[in-house]
Each structure stands twice: as structure tokens, then as C-alpha cells.
Structure 1
Amino acid sequence: MPANRKYLTTSTHQRIAKISAAIIGGYLLSTVIHLALASWLDKATVLITSTFSGFILWVVLMILAFLSRNGWKTWGIYLLMTAVFAGITYLGTTYNSTI
């Protein structure tokens, strides 16, 4: 049974934005979340857990990218969250580094 056409994205730009946000944006966000966790928690534990939880988080972020109506808004949210978690990573490595 084919999908109902009224629910499909007709714009090529939106389709490309959703696909790239799902693959690239989801991967960047899941990676930087685990980097932020590693900068504040035990690095070995986060590294071991991130092999499984990183993939699961990436798949969840892929699904969320395709559920949205606007692919550019999804890109904006993913990039904003990536910047926030990159800042948390920077703060964690600055305050938790041993000199």
C-alpha cells in the first residue's frame, strides 16, 4: 500500500534539507552530546557506553528530522543544540583539566 501523497514532501529543497539534517546533523549532535558527557563524567565509561548509545541517539535524531515539516528549521535546531553542547564541552574541558 503506497503512502498517501498529501503527507509526502513535494519540495526538492525540503527533501534534501531533511535528508542532510537527518544524516549529518544527527551525527554531529549525537557526537557532541557524548563529548560533553565525557568532559564532565568519567571518560572511559562514556567511551564504552557511547558505542551503543551514540548509534541509538543518532537513529532517534534521524527519525525526528523526518517527522518535522520544515527541514531548514530542523537544521537550525540541530546546529543550535550542537553549539550549546560544544560550549558545554569547552567548559567541561576547561574546568576539569588537570594541570
Structure 2
Amino acid sequence: MPPNKKYLTQSPVQRFAKISAGFAGGYAVTEAFCMALASWTHAGNVLMTLRFAGAMLWVALMILAFLARNGWKIWGLYLLLSVFFYAMIYLGNDVNPLV
């Protein structure tokens, strides 16, 4: 059954923004989250756990990007989340330098 055309994104720019946010932005948020969690806890346990959970998180972020109306807002959200997680990495390395 083909999709209803009124629900599909008509603008090629918005379509590109959603696709790139889903792949690149979702991957950036997933990696930043994994590294932030590893900097605050034991890295070995986190890396083995997030081997599979990270893939599921990335897929969920890809789906979220395609559900959004505006691709640039999703890009902004993913960039803000990445900056937040990178700040957590920085703070985690300052607080727990040997972990």
C-alpha cells in the first residue's frame, strides 16, 4: 500500500536535512553518549554493554529524525545533545581522571 503523498516531505532540502540528521547526527549523539557514560563509570563494562545498546539508540535517533517536521530543528537538537554529552565527557575526565 503506497503512502499518502500529503504526509511525505516535499522539499528536497528538508529531506536531505532529515536523512543527514538521522545518520550523522544520530551517530554523533550515540557516540557522545557512550563516551560520556564511559568517562563517568568503568569503561570496560560500558563499552561491552553499549556495543548493542548503542546500535539500538542510533536506530531510535534515526527514526526520531524522520518523524520530525523540520530537519533543521532535529539537527539543532542533535547538536545540543552532542555538546551536552561532550561537556559531560570533559567534566567526567576532570572528576574521575583514572576511571
Decide: shared fold, TM above 0.5: yes
The answer on 1:72 being equivalent to 2:72 is yes
Structure 2: runs of 5+ lacking an equivalent? none
One-letter amino acid matched to 1:27: Y
Give how far 1:17 is off: 0.1
Aligned equivalents of 1:15 and 1:4: distance in 2? 16
TM alignment of 1:1-99, pairs within 5 A? 1-98=1-98
Task: State the secondary structure of the residue aligned to 1:6.
Answer: helix
> What's the C-alpha RMSD, in Å, of the aligned pairs?
0.5
Aligned equivalents of 1:47 and 1:15: distance in 2? 33
One-letter amino acid matched to 1:33: F
Structure 1: runs of 5+ lacking an equivalent? none
Aligned equivalents of 2:50 and 2:94: distance in 1? 22
Task: State the secondary structure of the residue aligned to 2:2.
Answer: coil
TM, length-normalised to structure 2? 0.97
Percent identity for Structure 1 against Structure 2: 54
Give how far 1:95 is off: 1.1
Where does structure 1 differ by over 2 angstroms across 4 or more consecutive aligned residues? Answer: none
Give how far 1:50 is off: 1.2
Aligned equivalents of 1:97 and 1:86: distance in 2? 15
- CA offsets 1:17-53 (integer angstroms, 9 cap, x no match): 0000000000000000010000001111001011101
Q: Matched residue pairs, number?
A: 98
TM, length-normalised to structure 1? 0.97
One-letter amino acid matched to 2:39: S
